[in-house]
Structure 1
Amino acid sequence: MNNHLMRAFVLTAPGKYAVQEVPAPVAAPGEAVVDVERVGVCGTDMEFFTGAMAYLHQGHSSYPMRLGHEWCGRVVSVGDGVDPVWVGRRVMGDTMLGCGVCRRCRRGHQHVCEKRQELGIRGERPGALAEQLAVPVSSLHVLPDSVDAVLGALVEPGGNALRAARAAAARPGDRALVLGPGTIGLLVAMFLRAAGTEVHLMGRADNSPAFARELGFAHVWTEDSVPDLPFDAVVDASNAVRLPALALETVEPGGRVVYVGLAGGPSRIDTRTLALKDVTAVGILSASPGLDDTIRAYADGSVDPGPLVAAVVGLDEVGPVLAGERPVGAGPGPKIHVDPRTG
């Protein structure tokens, strides 16, 4: 019996939370227990905080729950059937945990498995906003020394962005427009830039355009200032209901639109426009197929997302962050990280 306790952030109802002492995890067969070093807070976590997340209403998730799916840490123990060589390794983990036996999983599409668990999101698999975390060892990806805790906790959102950038199929010299310069949008822009694409970003007239320029993106616009240029690809990384249609209207005939952002309500496009412009549209869910290549891009420095992190807080400060408060002294970046080892 495990008598060891640890601290964890527990969301008990919309807007209700507590940092609790809970039983520390014990590695089941096929699992590893990880000391969590860093966790990213994302928009999905905020939707659970407000109660708006669709999974709550579809029966896939319920309170109380432990959030946190963008994480990294170090393996401290393993269960039966796991090679002990894993102990001591620095790792991050795939959020999507498929059943492993269905047709989709057998075809390598575990991230869309009908019975999947999503760490800290779906299926009652506790998330990483805790001092320790238990995960299937099959979901782990090893981090090299050059990928520190900040970068390690950015691999998961980076995998989504890498897949979106690749789906844009932009070649060197092509021009791409990214809608929504939040964490995912800026990561998409970084991967596109690394591939030699001329990158344009469109955001609201707040501090986002200024921060994007600080990251070296010269072509940053608001909706009413986007130049009349041919965009070979448009990536919608926003949460605005109307922008998927704008992406389709804006892209060049024969180009590609990529949808990686999710709006709070149905977002609609006119498929007549899609067909008459001979446009390819791609939807992106999950970082799973892009995790290893994201780690390599961070390790070799071709993409450096570190400046996106505005602040690192402790578990006691997670609630206000989920409520939309910026930590005191936070920088201009869109991402807040949590170190569960601190207060």
Structure 2
Amino acid sequence: MSSTMRAFVLTGPRQGAVHEVPSPRAVPGEVVVDVERAGVCGTDVEFFTGEMAYLHQGHAAYPMRLGHEWSGTVSAVGDGVDAAWLGRRVMGDTMLGDRTCRRCRKGHQHTCENRQEVGIRGGRAGALAERVAVPAWSLHALPDAVDPVLGALVEPGGNALRAARAAAVGEGDRVLVLGPGTIGLLTAMFLRATGAEVHLLGLGDSSFARGLGFAHVWTRETLPELPFDAVVDASGAAALPSLAVDLVEPAGRVVYIGLSGQRSELDTRALVFKDVTAVGILSASPGLADTIAAYAAGTVDPRPLVGATVGLDRVGAVLAGERFAAPKVHIDPRL
């Protein structure tokens, strides 16, 4: 293994480039993975613009290496790691709890106060690079049916799967997803697999979502007056959390997975008077294994969401707003 590698390094707001950096080493308990695909996420864009809250809360600082949606092949293992991981195709959990606190012991390591997040929090370098080092316990093996593209879609898919399950809908139910971006469309795919009637609400052109087989795609102006048993807010708009409660049926469920860049307000009296259940989804961690299984079985195929696969030298342009025909952009560090 080379002593150096190429990685995209973000040095400040809107300042980033590909650098030659030291290759990670497999320290005890960890592995090194040769990255085959890494997705660019809205969180990465917030770090690029400088808006990400972690930068202002002390959880992250420049310079940093982004990339938390990835797949690849294990190329080195550290002491104490089963050598059977060598050569295996894997993806990994983003959330790395300390594994000792009360939350971790209760199985909620993704909410650990002391957690690292790969490419996001606590100085843990991400996968917009030729290689990434992660704890062996965070790995999930990928079956042959889950190719590198699907592997890098497991992390966003895990978030979406959890959101779809939190909606608690099925045959005969109607659900509305606010925000038809990557997470919203993934959530809609998992909801469709339950047999529910899925509607989407966005800002404009609905052709892409309709091309994925979703017939009910609306704007705020065209949304019909229908009873929605659940509403999933996958948007980044500060006004939509309140709208979700307005639109859901009494005794329904509202699921919040989108995050706005500014504070959103919600009148809890509306929740109480309508007897609505509200659920927040933070992380993919509890849904990763089932997402891999769903992809392997073909229950959900999100590959059409990937509009382009480019090399590391295009990361800066993608973060700055370069757009393609589909919402998700993948990076192949080998290009």
**TM-score, normalization: structure 1?**
0.97
Q: What is residue 274 of structure 2 aligned with on the other side?
A: 277
Among 238, 245, 248, the alignment partner of 2:245 is: 248
Q: Which residue of 1 aligns with 2:329?
A: 336
Separation in structure 2 between the aligned mates of residue 171 and residue 313 of structure 1, nearest angstrom: 38
Q: Give the AA of the match of 1:134.
A: A
2:226 to 219, 226, 229: 229
* Cα distance in 1 for residues equivalent to 2:282 and 2:183: 12
Measured in 1, the distance between the counterparts of 2:51 and 2:28 equals 35
Q: What CA distance in whole angstroms lies between the structure 2 residues aligned with 1:256 and 1:171?
A: 13
Q: Distance in 2 between matches of 1:110 and 1:6?
A: 31
C-alpha separation between the residues in 2 aligned to 1:3 and 1:183?
35
Distance, in Å, in 1 between the alignment partners of 2:187 and 2:271 is 23
Q: List per-residue Cα deviations over 1:282-326 (Å, max 9, x = no partner).
A: 000000000000001100001000000000010000001000012
Q: Secondary structure at 1:241's aligned position in 2?
A: coil
Distance (Å, rounded) in 2 between the aligned partners of 1:270 and 1:210: 34
Please list, as runs of the form range in 1=range in 2, the aligned pairs for 1:160-309 lying within 5 A after superposition: 160-205=159-204, 207=205, 209-309=206-306
**Partner of residue 315, structure 2:** 318
SS in 2 for 1:60: coil
Q: Unpaired segments of 5 or more residues in structure 1?
A: none
Q: Which runs of 4+ in 1 moved over 3 A?
A: none
Aligned partners of 1:188, 1:160: CA distance in 2, in Å? 8
1:173 CA displacement: 1.5
Instruction: Give unpaired runs (5+ residues) of structure 2.
Output: none
Distance apart, 1:3 and its partner CA? 6.8
**Superposed displacement of residue 18, structure 1:** 1.5
Match of 2:155 in 1: 156
Deviations 1:189-231 (A, max 9, x none): 00000011100000011x3x11000000000000111111110
The equivalent of 2:63 in structure 1 is 64
State the superposition RMSD in angstroms: 0.8
Q: Whole-Å Cα distance in 2 between the matches of residues 34 and 259 of structure 1?
A: 33
The two structures have a TM-score, normalised by structure 2, of 0.99
Alignment partners' CA distance in 1, 2:118 and 2:2: 24
Cross-structure match for 1:92? 91
CA distance in 2, matches of 1:19, 1:272: 50
| Aligned AA (1:337) | H
Secondary structure (helix, strand or coil) at the match of 1:48 reads: helix
Per the TM alignment, residue 47 of structure 1 is displaced from its structure 2 partner at its CA by: 0.3
Q: Shift of the alpha carbon at 1:171?
A: 2.0
C-alpha distance in 1, partners of 2:24/2:220?
Answer: 48
Cα distance in 2 for residues equivalent to 1:123 and 1:109 = 18
* Aligned-partner residue type, residue 211 of structure 2: E
Q: Secondary structure at the match of 1:340?
A: coil
* Residue of structure 2 in register with 1:44 after alignment: 43
Separation (CA, whole Å) in 2 of partners of 1:248 and 1:44 = 25
SS of match in other structure, 2:36: strand
